[in-house]
Structure 1
Amino acid sequence: MKKIVLSVLAASALVMAADTDLVMATTTSTADTGLLDAIYPAYKADTGVDLKWTAVGTGAALKLGENCDADILFVHSPKVEKEFVEKGFGVERKAVMYNDFVLIADKSIAPKFKGKDIKGSFELIKAEGIKFFSRGDKSGTDNKEKGIWKKVAGEVPEKDAWYAQTGQGMIATINIAAEQKGVTFTDRGTYIKYEANMKNDPSLVIVNEGDEDLKNLYSVIAVNPKHCAKTDIENANKFIGWITSEKGQKFISDFKLMNKPLFTPDAATRKN
């Protein structure tokens, strides 16, 4: 009898542990910037829920959701996110925050880009064969960058010798571009983190920013329990409620490095 009671208690403990865990698949920028590390203790204190995340490109994060290996997604590639929901893998896409994409280049070649918009900058890279480092990982940043190439050149220059795909996250790709004195395309939040890592003396500097087309939207999506029966929809909805609440949005607004905001909350203002 004693063994049976212990077994029941052990099983109950496992259920309770499972009920206080939320598994998130997210893009590298929410992790690399330190945002999730900052959110974790505040969220745990408010809800008692342990937030566990895997940081990959948005494409890989969506795949984790599709394969029922995550309860919630925190990502930034609107087109594929909407397709994910339309296919029944996600419940609803909720706005959380935004920053923007920027083009960064080695200081030695930065003057070449003076006065150019994003289209002109990409045309210059192609015309001069300037070393360009793409993530090549189907992340939100990668999708955006390739979309610009298609608009500018009609195709992604994957066969050109000057165009390299790292297959790595954003910080790693920035570091490779810095080593090779080249150019890359990044979200501003991760660039600020890179600046901080370089003690505000980065090798790569922003050469293009501010184009309306460069806005970078982040959203959360609960994995659909109709597709994944074991998904923790209760805790997924709890996190969505918290991150889009006035408190969660203020937390994002207050999150800074070197006194620079990395993201701007927009749960109350953005129409998905």
Structure 2
Amino acid sequence: MRRILTAVLMVLAWAGLAQAQEKVVRLAVTTSFHNSGLADVLLPEIRRDLGLEVQLLVVGTGQALRLGRAGDVDAVLVHSRAAEEEFVAQGWGTHRREIMYNDFVLIGPEEDPAGIAGAASAAEALRRIAAAEAPFVSRGDDSGTHRRERALWKAAGVDPTAASGGWYREAGAGMGATLNIAAGMGAYVLSDRATWLNFGHKDGLKILFEGDPALFNQYAFIPVNPDRHPHVKADLVAALEAWLTSEKGQALIGAYEIGGEKLFVPNARQEGSDG
């Protein structure tokens, strides 16, 4: 009888362990989201409310979407709308749900040798940098930030890669590492505002240009399509999405700040809402 009881208890223990292991979602997120520190606020609350462990894979947007296509993650949280819409249109994601936004900023040395602070637009600011051949550091990693930077250079009518290795340098790195390189070089750089505010080694750099609508930075959540990858945890992903877009989730996002400055504006539309 004792052996039977022991065996039953072992089976129950293994079942409980298996169930706990199943309540894990793999979420690919951008380096800019991770660098902001917001995950440190959200993940413990998600664990408390849902009993759900969210494992973050921190990569650029391009790599995050590639992980989604391969079925290596259950969902993605990224910030490059055209790429997101293509991902969904091709059937890799079920839908795109906007969660929050902030903006990009152009940062550079306090003395502003290219004079971008007086520019009328982000495109003009980049034209001034190119004309002055002032050092500029690009993420160069196919991230959402890098994609936006390329779009801004295109709007400026400038091909900076022609000067690659000269005044234009491609870091091939995340936002924090790229900011460190820019600080060391006294260079200009495009950053999301959240990473900049959480960046601890500004070393003579400052925000020199901001506020252009072209610098708007929307983040969206996309579940990987279980029709393409049946192993993804669609039910858990749905619970995570519901939490992120809930009143509590949106309030936590909106309340997060560094040095008295809010890093994100929550803007998830509720399902069935026309607004």
Q: Which aligned pairs between 1:206-217 and structure 2 lie closer than 5 A?
A: 206-217=207-218
Residue 247 (1) aligns with residue 248 (2): yes
CA RMSD of aligned residues (A): 2.2
Change (3 A) 1:110 1:18: farther
Higher radius of gyration, 1 or 2: 2
- Find the aligned partners of 2:14 and 2:31 in 1 and give their Cα distance: 35
The structure 1 segments of at least 4 consecutive aligned residues displaced by more than 3 Å after TM superposition are 1-11, 269-272
Contact preservation (8 Å) 2:130, 2:160:
no
Give SS of 1:224's match: coil
Residue 182 (1) aligns with residue 183 (2): no
Contact preservation (8 Å) 2:108, 2:188:
yes
Equivalent position of 1:165 in the other structure: 170
- Find the aligned partners of 2:155 and 2:10 in 1 and give their Cα distance: 61
**Residue of 184, 193, 198 corresponding to 2:198:** 193
Residue 72 (1) aligns with residue 75 (2): yes
Contact preservation (8 Å) 1:150, 1:156:
no
Paired positions, count: 268
Contact preservation (8 Å) 1:90, 1:223:
yes
- Find the aligned partners of 1:102 and 1:245 in 2 and give their Cα distance: 29
CA drift at 1:246? 1.1
Residue 38 (1) aligns with residue 78 (2): no
- Find the aligned partners of 2:113 and 2:235 in 1 and give their Cα distance: 49
CA drift at 1:229? 0.9
Equivalent position of 1:225 in the other structure: 226
Give SS of 1:96's match: strand
- Deviation by residue 1:42-84 (Cα, 9 ceiling, x = unmatched): 1111111011101110001111111111111111010001111
Query: Unaligned 5+ residue runs, structure 2?
Result: none
Give SS of 1:239's match: helix
- Find the aligned partners of 2:71 and 2:10 in 1 and give their Cα distance: 28
- Deviation by residue 1:89-123 (Cα, 9 ceiling, x = unmatched): 11110010000011000113267223102122101
- Find the aligned partners of 1:247 and 1:32 in 2 and give their Cα distance: 22
Query: Unaligned 5+ residue runs, structure 1?
Result: none
Aligned amino acid, residue 241 of structure 1:
A
Q: Which aligned pairs between 1:117-132 and structure 2 lie closer than 5 A?
A: 117-132=121-136
Equivalent position of 1:266 in the other structure: 267
Equivalent position of 1:143 in the other structure: 147
Equivalent position of 2:235 in the other structure: 234
Contact preservation (8 Å) 2:30, 2:61:
yes
- Find the aligned partners of 1:211 and 1:113 in 2 and give their Cα distance: 13
Contact preservation (8 Å) 1:25, 1:72:
yes
Using the size of structure 2 for normalisation, the TM-score is 0.91
Contact preservation (8 Å) 1:25, 1:74:
yes
- Deviation by residue 1:211-262 (Cα, 9 ceiling, x = unmatched): 0111000000111101111001111111110111111110000011111100
CA drift at 1:271? 8.9
CA drift at 1:154? 4.9
Equivalent position of 1:26 in the other structure: 29
Aligned amino acid, residue 129 of structure 1:
E
- Deviation by residue 1:132-156 (Cα, 9 ceiling, x = unmatched): 1000111000000001111212534
Aligned amino acid, residue 247 of structure 1:
K
Aligned amino acid, residue 86 of structure 1:
A
Aligned amino acid, residue 81 of structure 2:
P
- Find the aligned partners of 1:119 and 1:108 in 2 and give their Cα distance: 20
- Deviation by residue 1:161-219 (Cα, 9 ceiling, x = unmatched): 1111101100110110010001000111111111xx24xx6521111100011100000
- Find the aligned partners of 1:127 and 1:171 in 2 and give their Cα distance: 27
